[in-house]
A and B are shown apart, each in its own frame.
Chain A
Amino acid sequence: MMAAAQHISPPGTMARIMVLLERERKTRFSGGMLGYLWAFIIPSAWIALVFALFWVLERTPPIYVGAEVFIATGVLPYLFFRQTVTSLSRTLSANRYMRYFSSVSPNDILSASMLLESFNVLMTSVLIFGMVTVAFGSPLPASMPGVLFGLGLSWLLGCGIGRFVATAGLLSDTFARAVPLILRPLFWLSGIFYTAAELPGAVQDILWYSPFLHVTEIIRESYFLGFKSPVATVWYPLAIAAMFYLASIPLERFAHNRRLMRGRL
């Protein structure tokens, strides 16, 4: 006998996003033994790699702090940004079949990925900074809200640029494939290895246009007591994130009207 029909109320936008988020969370690192530990292993490996590079090059941080925490404050915002962009650029194609439920829109899918990344940013930061503090005896952040705000900025940059990449990728497969190449140099422009103060004036003037330098400097200002950045501004990374986010809206409209997507429904 069939089970008796039992309705629950149809999900609203937020409920739909939460279901998509849960699905994404459960499947993000599925298919291996380590599962969600990868969210912790990847940034740890990056920090260890840059730490080894510092050691080989006999470089010491330009301010009086441990190399590990100096590197962590540079690598984490960059990785969060990259991770958010990568996740958004894949999510529309990976979750395209969820659109068979006519209430699920591309916006729901993108929002679910953004929220999941914000959760990842928070958890990974706590774990990594916690590990650095415990293992190396580094001091805790001078201003915890400031550090969280800086990490939030890197996430916002990832959301804005990631949404642009995701929607532009619907229009051009070539663009979607070129994005990792375009983003690669940002690793060197984001202040992982240096502070803005130690750059020559002309270089500093050019790198001012990298929003990631601002974010890294904002986080270091909040993490290291007494560190003052000559370049850090909040409005610039915010404006870049907003600009890309807004630019993605007409692109999404265009792709929707022309029924363009990556992969078939």
Chain B
Amino acid sequence: MIALENVTLLKPGVMTRDPILLEATEVFRMGERVGILATPGSGKSSIARLLAGIEHPDRGTIRREARVSWPIGFAGFLHPELGVAENLSLFARLVGVAPRTVIDFCDDFCSIPNLSRKTMKDLPPTQRAMLGYACALSVPGPAMWIADEVITIGEPRDRERCDEILAERLEQGGLVFLSRNARQLKAYCDRFLVLINQRLVQCDDLEVAQEALELSAHLSAQEQMRSEHA
């Protein structure tokens, strides 16, 4: 479970800081699959990191029960100068899973011949992304899973595999999926929120939410033009 109480998140800065999220109070429970619709540039990734405990709120409190994943699919922690096995072993020790478990899982998931004997430089970008994705899902046990735009990865066959493993993981966990894509949110989630004017608003109809977001973006663009003109 992740419980937000009056949470405000501001953009980084020394003096003036624009808000990303204002006074949000929300609970994401295990067993739930919550989709958050947000426009590009509205601070989706910052909110995903906030939920994952990587960023801290500027005001308010966040309570977490059970493990919370980092945004799945993130592969930045895999060092390009290290071998795949070395990367996976360091990763496993850092998250508290036996290295063998992670290496076997990634070998199995990625289906890349001799994966653990390769260096990161041997892998093309798609395979690197697959490996990052596999790392996130290799951590067993109940968890709240966070997805920031990326929920599956690779070719259609790989995506099916991602869906299969993710469904397995979600049997014991919850999902918070932030995306700009209403269709994708509908495919994975059963409850929806929309990030509009820095507020998280409950929403049953994503089409209406999408239109509201577009209208809001249009109005703020007009307002900006008017103030620049003035």
Contacts and interface: CB of A to CB of B under 8 A. Distances in A.
Contact of B14 (A31, A98, A171): A171
A102 interface: yes
Interface string A73-86: 00000000000000
A259 B55 CA distance: 8
Interface of A: 1-11, 15-16, 19-20, 22-23, 26-27, 30-31, 97-104, 171, 256-261, 265
A8 B96 contact: yes
Interface string B90-117: 1001111110110011001100000000
Given A6-B98, A101-B94, A258-B14, A30 B108 contact: no
A19 B66 CA distance: 24
Contacts, number: 97
Main secondary structure of the interface of B (DSSP, over half): loop
A2 B108 contact: yes
A101 B53 CA distance: 9
Given A8-B97, A104-B94, A27 B12 contact: no
B98 A258 contact: no
A63 B82 CA distance: 47
Nearest to A102: B53
A6 B97 contact: yes
Interface of B: 10-14, 17, 49, 52-56, 58, 68, 70-71, 74, 76-77, 79, 81-82, 86, 90, 93-98, 100-101, 104-105, 108-109, 140-141, 165, 168
Given A3-B101, A23-B79, 14 more contacts: A6-B101, A7-B141, A10-B96, A11-B93, A19-B93, A22-B90, A23-B90, A30-B81, A100-B71, A102-B54, A102-B70, A258-B12, A259-B10, A265-B49
A143 B79 CA distance: 42
Contacts of B104: 3
Nearest to A24: B79
B96 A102 contact: no
B92 to A, nearest CB: 8
A27 B87 CA distance: 11
Contacts of B14: 171, 258, 260
B94 A11 contact: yes
Contacts of B82: 23, 26-27, 30
Contacts of A104: 94
Highest count of chain A CB atoms <10 Å: which of B54, B56, B58: B54
B108 A260 contact: no
B17 A3 contact: no
B171 to A, nearest CB: 13
Contacts of A11: 93-94, 96
Contact of B140 (A5, A10, A22, A26): A5
Q: 3 nearest interchain CB pairs?
A: A5-B140, A97-B76, A10-B96
A170 B17 CA distance: 16
A260 B56 CA distance: 12
A22 to B, nearest CB: 7
Contacts of A102: 52-54, 68, 70
A31 B95 CA distance: 27
Contact of A100 (B74, B101, B140, B165): B74
A113 to B, nearest CB: 15
25 contacts: A2-B165, A3-B101, A5-B101, A6-B98, A6-B101, A8-B97, A8-B98, A10-B96, A11-B94, A15-B93, A22-B90, A26-B86, A100-B49, A100-B52, A100-B54, A100-B74, A101-B70, A102-B68, A103-B94, A259-B10, A259-B11, A259-B55, A260-B14, A261-B12, A265-B49
A15 B76 CA distance: 21
